[in-house]
Structure 1
């Protein structure tokens, strides 16, 4: 039976999120990527052959970092918008780099994440302009607010 979360209980899954944000050795194969992104396996193999997505890992054979999911979604998005594959791949590379920078920024600033039934609080550490204060991001439903404590 699943354990029910009491309203006063706080779950801290900071380490888990930090592991996801860092460049881990979590790899996906072509079948998993196809399932996640709804892009056919033969298309993914073609993109890999052309260098639009890069295999990695110890064997470097059809193993991809989790970041490839973003790259694939983005290529597919731009192709659906009417761009050629090569242009879509260039645009996807640009946005994938931006995505990696966002991940890097979050990874370096993330101190703690607390989840309650009412909200999620993301502790981003000391507020640079005033190191006596702490910067947090509070998410309650569709409302998102920064807080200085």
Structure 2
């Protein structure tokens, strides 16, 4: 049986690990650096290093996605305030899913038959049980196992 750890997942998907500078963000979104700084001043986008004055701004992938989506909405006629609100609303389900997966993921196991079991940690109603997820015919299925 092969195992993967929580730290493997965290290294791959850690919040803020993938970042870009303001120039790259400008090129990706078609929004000038000056305009991006204005968006930051208004609180619509927040650089990862906002607490480090005088340093070049860097943005995590969440802010990159938000800036790109806002840019698209502005091109369709939204105001800046409305575009930011719309993007925040649309991003909420994805943020929730990210946190559920990131916070619950404990690791994975590959069984001898090749089946991958994703360890989601203790089962809340009964902490003596571990909750596992697996794919069966491309459908998520869950099972409980007693803690060893």
Alignment TM class, shorter chain as reference: 0.5 to 0.7
Q: CA deviation at 1:125?
A: 0.5
2:100 is paired with a residue whose SS is helix
- Tell me which of 137, 142, 149 is aligned to 2:138: 142
Instruction: Give the equivalent residue in structure 2 for 1:91.
Output: 86
Distance 2:71 2:65 in 1: 10
- Work out whether 1:16 is the aligned partner of 2:1: no
Distance 1:79 1:103 in 2: 27
Identify if the C-alpha distance between structure 1 residues 73 and 140 changes in structure 2 by more than 3 Å, giving closer, same or farther. farther
Per-residue deviation, residues 76-111 of structure 1 (Å, max 9, x unmatched): 565577533321212323454554444343333221
Larger Rg: 2
Per-residue deviation, residues 46-84 of structure 1 (Å, max 9, x unmatched): 234222212232455331123213423543565577533
Q: What CA RMSD, in Å, does the superposition of the two structures yield over aligned residues?
A: 3.6
1:121 is paired with a residue whose SS is strand
Identify if the C-alpha distance between structure 1 residues 74 and 142 changes in structure 2 by more than 3 Å, giving closer, same or farther. farther
Q: Specify every segment of 5 or more residues in structure 1 that has no aligned partner in the other structure, as ranges.
A: 1-8
- Tell me which of 23, 29, 46 is aligned to 2:35: 46
Q: CA deviation at 1:133?
A: 1.6
2:29 is paired with a residue whose SS is coil
1:12 is paired with a residue whose SS is strand
Identify if the C-alpha distance between structure 1 residues 132 and 92 changes in structure 2 by more than 3 Å, giving closer, same or farther. same
Identify if the C-alpha distance between structure 1 residues 61 and 138 changes in structure 2 by more than 3 Å, giving closer, same or farther. same
Misfit runs of 4+, over 6 Å? none
Instruction: Give the equivalent residue in structure 2 for 1:112.
Output: 107
Query: Conserved in 2, the CA contact under 8 Å of 1:30 and 1:45?
Result: no
Query: Conserved in 1, the CA contact under 8 Å of 2:5 and 2:106?
Result: no
Q: Specify every segment of 5 or more residues in structure 2 that has no aligned partner in the other structure, as ranges.
A: none
Query: Conserved in 2, the CA contact under 8 Å of 1:113 and 1:121?
Result: yes
